[in-house]
Amino acid sequence: MAMPIADGDPWHGANPIDPAFRADPHPYLHRLRELAPVDQTPIGVWRLTRYADCVRLLTQVPTGVRLTDGSLPGEGMVPNAGPARFMLQQDPPNHTRLRKLVSKAFTPRAIERLRARAQEVADAQIDAVAARGEMDVIADLALPVPATMICEMMGVPLSERDRFTEWTAQATHLLAFMLAPPDVLERAVAAANALREYFEALIAARRAHLTDDILSDLIRAEESGDRLSGDELLSQCIGLLIAGFETTIGLIGNGVLALIRHPDQLARLRAEPALIGSAVEECLRFDGPIALTPRYLHADAEIGGVTIPKDSQVWAMLFAANRDPARFADPDRFDIGRADNAHLAFGGAAHFCLGAHLARMEAQIAIGTFARRVEAPRFAAAELEWGRSLFRVLGRLPVQFASVR
């Protein structure tokens, strides 16, 4: 059974659609971990806020991203190309097959070959704002770097970037349709349909002129009888585009914000640029873009002293796990040199983020370039402005600076 409601609020103050929670979820999650580390929400979903419990859910008990009968709630919301057909919403063997088709483009070796190009993009973006003395870190850096890279990897025209930015942010809300207000859900469905129509046309054009990109590879796989259906092809394209840059925008933006708010850490990174790998891992732990990852139990399971029944949806609250004092010393301290940093920002087990190497590389380039080249940056707004994405992604991050190296 669920933990008792100690404060009369069934959400224990940690309601994900509350603007105060969106602005700064960490104090609420600390309180939730203390009051009810394993709790059942008013919508029936269970939440885990302790690191050890999240690890148990992700790696030790029988789970999937679908119910035991293979169904997925909300699967028919967007005909032909809803999130249900993307690999992230599939269990083995379908998940294994779909992931294998695109995994070669995301291996560490393949990603390292893209590092020089990502550096070109980041430097060009900083060069473009050098004379202004100000920039919007989101529009001028955090979005262009990952968006350019995934569009080039997939063979999607960069001229379409602005449209994709809006569509992908809106479409993410289909992943949490049970919480989305009607107007948000309506926009999400419209955005998913717009993406579907765009990719239908692009796939038709690409069939006549295959090139060296992920989209062409997926078309070849479909045509060689790999059991990849037309609907699956469409959904992998849409899903990879969304996953390929939406969350990385958040990682880069949130990371730059953390450095500006902790000038000692920014100064340390400037003095020790080799720390950029460690710094990005700390950005992922301290304020990553993804609040939670869901699973369905495929058998009754005891987690944190509570028995949760089969087919329950359970959320591993990644923000909470990554700041659990039982796992991380002084967890609310931002420390780019943190040595023991086994965060859960990329999930775990079979569904460990396919694009983790790409996201890390892009964040290392973008954040490292900002730290190295932008002198004396300061936040230039009264308050933070969050974007329209389901994920923790800033809409704008205005910064003023003294000069650019």
| Residue 355 resides in a domain | yes
Q: State the amino acid at position 210 in one-letter form.
A: L
Alpha carbons 394 and 138: distance in angstroms, whole number: 7
Residues in the chain: 405
| Residue 354 resides in a domain | yes
Which pLDDT score is estimated for 235?
Answer: 84
| Residue 25 resides in a domain | no
Q: Model confidence over 234-277: pLDDT tens digits? A: 888 888 888 878 899 999 999 999 999 999 999 999 999 999 99
Output the six-digit token pair for 176: 């949490």
**Residue carrying structure tokens 């070959």:** 113
Residue 246: count of CB within 10 angstroms of its CB: 25
pLDDT band at 89 (very low <50, low <70, confident <90, very high): confident
Which pLDDT score is estimated for 57?
Answer: 97
Of residues 352 and 75, the one with the higher pLDDT is: 352
| Residue 373 resides in a domain | yes
* Residue 5 scores a pLDDT above 70: no
Distances (CA, A) of 256 to 147, 241, 366, 369: 17, 23, 9, 11
Q: Is 68 exposed, middle or buried, given 0-12, 13-18 or 19+ CB atoms closer than 10 A?
A: middle
Contact 346, 321 (CB under 8 A): no
Q: Model confidence over 147-186: pLDDT tens digits? A: 999 999 988 888 888 888 888 888 887 777 777 778 888 8
Among 397, 404, 401, CA closest to 124: 404
* Residue 48 scores a pLDDT above 70: yes
Range of the domain at 275: 39-64+81-404
Q: Model confidence over 101-136: pLDDT tens digits? A: 888 888 999 999 999 999 999 999 999 999 999 999
DSSP designation for 353 = -
Distances (CA, A) of 110 to 6, 123, 183, 357, 375: 51, 21, 40, 9, 33
* Residue 56 scores a pLDDT above 80: yes
* Mean pLDDT of the region 301-305: 96
Give the residue ranges of DSSP H helices in 209-229.
214-223
Beta-carbon contacts of residue 372 (< 8 Å; ≥ 6 apart): 270, 273, 405
Alpha carbons 335 and 262: distance in angstroms, whole number: 9
Contact 358, 106 (CB under 8 A): yes
Which pLDDT score is estimated for 188?
Answer: 85
pLDDT band at 76 (very low <50, low <70, confident <90, very high): low
pLDDT band at 309 (very low <50, low <70, confident <90, very high): very high
Domain count, the chain: 1
Beta-carbon contacts of residue 323 (< 8 Å; ≥ 6 apart): 26, 29, 30, 285, 286, 331, 332
How does 19-44 read in b/e, with b if 16+ C-beta sit within 10 Å? Answer: eebeeebbebbbebbebbbbbbbeee
pLDDT above 90 coverage of the chain, percent: 59
Sort residue 349 into left (φ over 0), alpha (ψ -120 to 50) or beta.
left
Q: Which long-range contacts (CB under 8 A, 24 or more apart) does 263-270 make?
A: 265/334, 265/335, 265/336, 266/371, 266/377, 268/336, 268/337, 269/336, 269/368, 269/371, 270/371, 270/372
pLDDT band at 84 (very low <50, low <70, confident <90, very high): low
| Residue 139 resides in a domain | yes
pLDDT band at 222 (very low <50, low <70, confident <90, very high): low
* Residue 187 scores a pLDDT above 70: yes
Among 402, 363, 322, CA closest to 30: 322
| Residue 294 resides in a domain | yes
Sort residue 120 into left (φ over 0), alpha (ψ -120 to 50) or beta.
alpha
| Residue 171 resides in a domain | yes
Residue 152: count of CB within 10 angstroms of its CB: 17
pLDDT band at 77 (very low <50, low <70, confident <90, very high): low
Instruction: Record the pTM.
Output: 0.92
* Residue 368 scores a pLDDT above 90: yes
* Residue 4 scores a pLDDT above 50: no
| Residue 321 resides in a domain | yes
Of residues 76 and 348, the one with the higher pLDDT is: 348
Which pLDDT score is estimated for 81?
Answer: 43
Q: What is the CATH number of the domain that holds 124?
A: 1.10.630.10
Which pLDDT score is estimated for 82?
Answer: 47
